[in-house]
Amino acid sequence: MIKPDLSQELPAQLGSLHFVGIGGSGMSGIARLFLAAGHRVTGSDRGENHNTEALRELGATVSIGHDAANLGDADTLVYTGALWPDNPEYLAAVERGIPTLHRSQALAWLINGQRLIAVAGAHGKTTSTGMIITALRELGADPSFVNGGVIESLGVSSAHGEGEIFVVEADESDGTFLLYDTAVALVTNVDADHLDHYGSHEAFDAAFVRFANAASELVVTSSDDVGAVRMTAGLVGKRIITFGEAETADVRLHSVTTVGPVTFSVAWQGADYEIRLLVPGHHNARNAAGAFAVLVGMGFDPAGIVAGLETFGGTERRFELHGVVRGVSVYDDYSHHPTEVAVALRAARTVVGDGRIIAVHQPHLYSRTKMMAGEFAEAYESLADHTIVLDVYGAREDPVPGVTGALVAERFTDPARVDYLPDWQQAADRAAALAEDGDIIMTLSCGDVYRIVPQILASLGQRPA
């Protein structure tokens, strides 16, 4: 992958832009905003998807496959963190001497001068960002935004708004969340990840301290997460609002009920506000408390915030139901870290009732799989009834000899509760064979595991009645 140069001075003008990897969720969202701002946009990707089709309808020129000729006469090249340095379009831009910007640098250029809410944290970013955006729109604020996933009620992951507020999901994976001129920072948690980039837990923590210290108006952070509490101790001269279940939290979450719709209350400045969510799981009550804290901290009416949060219907690939066949519900979820997996499975448990959970795990990144195989196994074995492990989705990493999905399966204490099945059709058939009426089959990864969902649904349909 190409490491972005965060010290690079952004050009005064970007002109026409070419996006390499334009079909990705983050890249397509940013490309959509540049189109809305009147820029000419071209791009390329390995294959077609709904993002490439939507961008063409908006006026972008999108090529399938990577070729130096795709660059055309673009003034600026924008790349994703998954791009390799030998990409022909990237090399052509370097040879021509035109600016090459990481997607976060292009976004920082676009945001310049607006009141930015930046949402960071190892887990919960996309949902928390979606909640803030949804509530702001219900409050009439009309923000611009870029989220890491499609907001189901809006059908998009980004949009240009007429208001002064811009909301972004800030990616910590490669340090680019430090680029933004942030007004309000929300830190959902600080749970060490991406150590292939940071090198140590201490460096990971230090990056979050820098991110929060850069916020000019307000820092909102968890009172419950150990890492977030540790980060808060390193902040200097900041206005801070904490949220969580701790008695000391400024926005205190309490009376959480997760059976059926999630209901809970938040206490703020001597008053209680009851909230009923459309999305399941205790973790989403916590995400909503963080979003509430951001918005009351910015001066919005608490009752209006509650009304907005209660309309949030979720984001794509976050406990997303894809179908029910013969009584078996098939969900997909983006969880790709042991902590996230545990949270997602606990939420599924509140939905499945007396049924069972059959998890389909696609390990993401060779480095993460090697470091956390045991933690993944522990999460799945304790919270799912059976787990099927696929092979590693390498994303931006080269294969590592000996690192496969088998590393996770081998760490189960009860081998009868896990299958390592690299062949996707075998995995789909096995999941369908295990599932019974009332069960959930759930795919988990931020790789391309969602592509197995149609195979699972088909396998379920082919089972003997």
- The sheet carrying 240-244 orders its strands as 156-159, 144-151, 165-169, 115-120, 184-187, 218-222, 240-244, 251-257, 263-268, 271-276
Helices (H), 41-184: 50-57, 88-96, 103-111, 125-138
Q: Which runs of E-coded beta strand occur in 308-355?
A: 320-325, 328-333
Which is catalytic among the residues 89, 169, 172, 397?
169
* Size of the chain, expressed as the number of residues it contains: 465
Look up 169 and say whether it is catalytic.
yes
| Residue labelled with tokens 């997607």 | 103
Q: Which tokens hold the place of 384? A: 């799912």
Gyration radius from the chain CA atoms: 22
Phi-psi region of 75 (alpha: psi -120 to 50; beta: other; left: phi over 0): alpha
Residue 357 pairs with which residues in a beta bridge?
Answer: 440
CA distances for 127 relative to 309, 336, 424, 426, 457, angstroms: 11, 15, 29, 32, 26
CB atoms within 10 A of CB 324: 12
What is the Cα–Cα distance from 53 to 449, expressed in whole angstroms?
21
Asked if 147 and 126 count as a contact pair (C-beta separation under 8 A), the reply is yes
Q: What are phi and psi of 28, to 5 degrees?
A: -65, -35
Q: How would you classify the pairing of strands 115-120 and 184-187?
A: parallel
Assigned token pair, 212: 């929060």
Burial 285-306 (b: 16+ CB within 10 A, else e): bbbbbbbbbbbbbbebebeebb
CA dist list (Å): 254 to 279, 313, 348, 371, 459: 17, 22, 21, 35, 42
Active-site hit among 125, 129, 404, 443: 125
Whole-angstrom distance between the N-terminal and C-terminal Cα of the chain?
Answer: 48
Among residues 100, 126, 339, 404, the one annotated as catalytic is: 126
Q: Where are the beta strands (DSSP E) in 248-353?
A: 251-257, 263-268, 271-276, 320-325, 328-333
Active site residues: 125-126, 169
